């Protein structure tokens, strides 16, 4: 299978950076310290802005104060974090004006993670600090496409979370689900599902980019 597009927009955690251990560790500690069952956090946190998760599971707390502290802890914790195999090679092959990142993480956390694992920072980098409505709203991917100067319909998005898949589809982009942190079935709304970014083969052509993949599961 293959898709043609003018640009690729990546989610960060679960797609380019394997940060699942850090995210789980920090959310568990946050929940324990505030007497909130971690299961309630786990059920809603994947792929969504942390402040929205806090507002949902702990409406009695000050979300701005909580996100400042949690954000500092997330940015500082890098134990066990690494780039997914093939992520850097893929980004290095892409023209700088043909890829972007749209993440639900805050800017300082996202940049700290990319620096730690040795990934290049994109020219267009949309974080939770840049949008009014995070995923699953379409704004993150709409904003990334606008920053690239490319119609969302000519973009392919790589996403590991159902909320991110919904965001990209609502923006009008094609979506490849990346089944690293959730099951392929949970990503069924994607155009197709791949196991990891190393399964991709991206080539620049006169008409744009050709995105091929192996071992896919059709949605």
pLDDT at 218: 41
Counted residue by residue, the chain has a size of: 219
Residue 11 is a catalytic residue: yes
- Let me know the angle formed at the C-alpha of 40 by 35 and 42, rounded to the nearest 5 degrees: 115
Q: Where are the beta strands (DSSP E) in the chain?
A: 2-5, 7-10, 17-18, 82-83, 99-102, 125-126, 155-159, 174-178, 192-194, 200-205, 208-213, 217-218
Tell me the C-alpha to C-alpha distance, in Å, between residue 87 and each of 18, 62, 122, 188. Answer: 10, 37, 13, 23
In degrees and rounded to multiples of 5, residue 34 shows phi and psi of: -110, 5
- Plot region of 166 (φ>0 → left; ψ -120 to 50 → alpha; else → beta): alpha
Among residues 154, 151, 153, 91, the alpha carbon closest in space to that of 123 is found at: 91
pLDDT in tens, 76-87: 888 889 999 999
Within the chain, which residues score under 70 in pLDDT? 47, 215-219
Query: What is the b/e burial string over 101-136, where b = at least 16 CB atoms within 10 angstroms of the residue's CB?
Result: bbbbbbbebbbbbbeebebeebebbbbbebbeebbb
Do residues 117 and 82 lie in contact, with contact meaning Cβ atoms separated by under 8 Å? yes
Task: Catalytic residue, from 13, 18, 77, 160: name it.
Answer: 13
pTM, two decimal places: 0.85
The one catalytic residue among 11, 18, 77, 160: 11
Is 72 considered catalytic here? no
* Long-range Cβ contact pairs of 24-27 (< 8 A, separation 24 or more): 25/77, 26/70, 26/73, 26/74, 26/77
């Amino acid at each position: 299978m293959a898709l043609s597009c003018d640009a690729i927009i990546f989610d960060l955690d679960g797609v380019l950076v394997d940060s699942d251990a850090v995210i789980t560790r920090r959310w568990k500690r946050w929940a324990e310290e505030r007497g909130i069952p971690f299961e309630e956090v786990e059920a809603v946190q994947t792929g969504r802005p942390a402040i929205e998760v806090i507002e949902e599971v702990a409406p009695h707390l000050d979300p701005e104060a909580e996100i400042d502290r949690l954000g500092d802890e997330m940015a500082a914790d890098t134990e066990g974090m690494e780039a997914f195999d093939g992520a850097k090679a893929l980004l290095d092959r892409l023209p700088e004006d043909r890829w972007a990142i749209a993440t639900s993480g805050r800017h300082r956390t996202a940049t700290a993670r990319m620096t730690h694992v040795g990934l290049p920072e994109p020219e267009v980098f949309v974080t939770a600090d840049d949008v009014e409505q995070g995923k699953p709203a379409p704004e993150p991917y709409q904003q990334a496409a606008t920053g690239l100067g490319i119609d969302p319909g000519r973009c392919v998005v790589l996403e590991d979370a159902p909320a991110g898949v919904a965001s990209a589809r609502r923006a009008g982009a094609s979506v490849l689900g990346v089944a690293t942190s959730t099951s392929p079935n949970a990503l069924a709304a994607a155009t197709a599902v791949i196991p990891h970014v190393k399964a991709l083969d991206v080539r620049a052509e006169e008409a744009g980019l050709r995105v091929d993949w192996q071992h896919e599961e059709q949605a």
